[in-house]
Chains A and B, each alone.
Chain A
Amino acid sequence: MLNAHDILETIRMIQDENLDIRTITMGVSLLDCIDPNIDSACQKVYDKITRCAKNLVRVGEDIEKEYGIPIVNKRISVTPIAIVSAACKGSPVQFAHTLEKVSQVCGVNFIGGYSALVQKGFSAGDVELINSIPEALSETEHVCSSVNVGSTKTGINLDACALMGRIVRQTAQITADRDCIGCAKLVVFCNAPEDNPFMAGAFHGVGEPDCIINVGVSGPGVVRAALSKAPDADITEVADIIKKTAFKITRMGQLVGMEASRRLGVPFGIVDLSLAPTPAVGDSVAHILEEIGLERCGTHGTTAALALLNDAVKKGGVMASSKVGGLSGAFIPVTEDAGMIDAARCGALTLEKLEAMTAVCSVGLDMIVIPGDTTAETISAIIADEAAIGMVNSKTTAVRVIPAIGKQMGEELEFGGLLGSGPVMKVNRNSAEKFIGRGGQIPAPLQSLKN
């Protein structure tokens, strides 16, 4: 028999500390939908995804009811559309509209994969797709887009960085009337994982099976609550507490993933060992860092505390799950984290500090609002910097910045929901135009020569 303490602990985690399964994401391969005729390609895409995912939301809700644990999001990721659209003539935006229709029919809240992988150069279809991203994101609500511009194996495609700087700006401009929301659905990656269940960067890699279930867990509130019970523990004990808590959180992901996979008749892919915050009170990664002993997230010591947190989450989680993948680590999206928003507002958290933090945790510069007059070249340079951190450290990094068109320091953007809100943050005004304008490929680093 389970003991009462364990049972009450689980219930407390769910009721009071915001433990939830952040997402069940179904990955669907669209390789068999490729067709030279764009209309029939889109029809095949529509038919295949709606067939695979028709029960996704219902099964998610059933599991939620039965086990009593909230499953916040049900999502779909697909093969990068640039691969599918390369074969046909016509604007790839038609695929975005198809995906939007699919998301509404299936009832999922995001569908990711309006993507291109250009780390070593552009192939047929890539440039066309990338150029269509602003239009696609402005005309759809649930479609997410990502572009991989670098990897440890290939180096960084500086031409792609330059292009993406312009695309991010255009996307902000074209959705300026909606708080530049388009940019919240666009991620630029280095070392993009192919089995990531989290948006906006999820896509279904070409090495993945036909259809698969990936799960992303959450629970910053649970970690913080556990730490608050040990205010005088030394830092090794702190790491242990985080490990134990991450284990418990991840077990929930494993259980839900296995169960969803069984009920949907789809193989179970991975659990993403993540601490994903939301703007809700008590669900903040920044507050964990502050619980560890920082007055404000972003002050000196933040990088060290985050490194410990990120490592302990992985160590705890990896034993709890049979298969681990995705981004796996602590997320630091500024506008989606109540503690980060406060720290950015009061100036404790800066873009430079965030860049340092991305060297030791999962993902990268995420959900950061920058001044509306930031040039495309500066955005490209931000992307290149972040990609360089990922390339050299053999880890995933990403950039999801939102130029707040027409706004300056001191003003804020408000997205609502899980995307939250955030103040415009300061960006270095000195130009990187010459550097970005050089174009070409930053060669792969020595780290790539492992064979």
Chain B
Amino acid sequence: MRPAALDAPRIRASDRRFGLLLLAPSVLLLLLVGLFPLVYTLVVSFQQITLFEVDTSFAGLANYRMLLSDERLWESLLHTAILFSIALPLELALGLAMAQLFLERLPGRQIFIALLVLPTVIAPLVAGAVWRLLLDHRYGPVNQIVGWLWGEEAVLLWTVNPLLVYPAILMAEVWQWTPFMFLILLAALTNVDRSLTEAAEIDGAGFWLTFRKVVLPAIWPVMAVALLIRGLDLARIFDVVYALTGGGPGTMTETISIYTYVLGFRQFETSYTGAIAFLVIAILTVLVVGAVKRMGLAR
């Protein structure tokens, strides 16, 4: 009689095959849903499809060459980078400060947390529309409040004046997504081992030193993931800007997502839009891989 142990590898191999067989439909489905659109977009980007014409002939690298001379494209990437580089640190700093505040057992803490998180459940397009109303010169309360503080009527045209459009977008963006940072960082801070912070305090470390040397390393993995999620969202920012300024004045606040939308869905430049989509994918892939490596998330 063969010992049971000798049969085990044969059984595991058949199990593995069976397991792979069970997984195959899901994997195929995922490939179909996830990969096919990407491959199709890549193919389209080498053609010259617009919805106005029936011509779908091969265009070679023409669409990719066009990227280089498209000033509006690079400007829209710059606008996206501006929003990214201001909003992300702001949301992080404010979210962290709020999370630190709410670590203490304050009266009504749960109610406040629930209220603070409300903006994140609103659709970004609605948030943009709400802020457009809030900032409206005629009906919005923001100019009223500024007027009371200033002592005379304030004519601040938030969606018209070039000096005010970015602050307007940033206000709406930071208002909506700081609570996301806050919630995640609050969870991370709650899990920091109290004995370590107490030990640091006993050793004479101040608040900043304790935070830098004890708390930050403890919450870093969670904070990094939160930064990555929000960073990716900001790289694709569309709704709030579209609702507030439509990318204007001119194209001053046009982000890469808005430009892609305009080209694809208003001007029907299907193939060129595909090329832009791949440029964006390439940029984001480099940034995400670099960020993951630098943040130590791949370890």
On whether the two chains bind one another, the answer is no
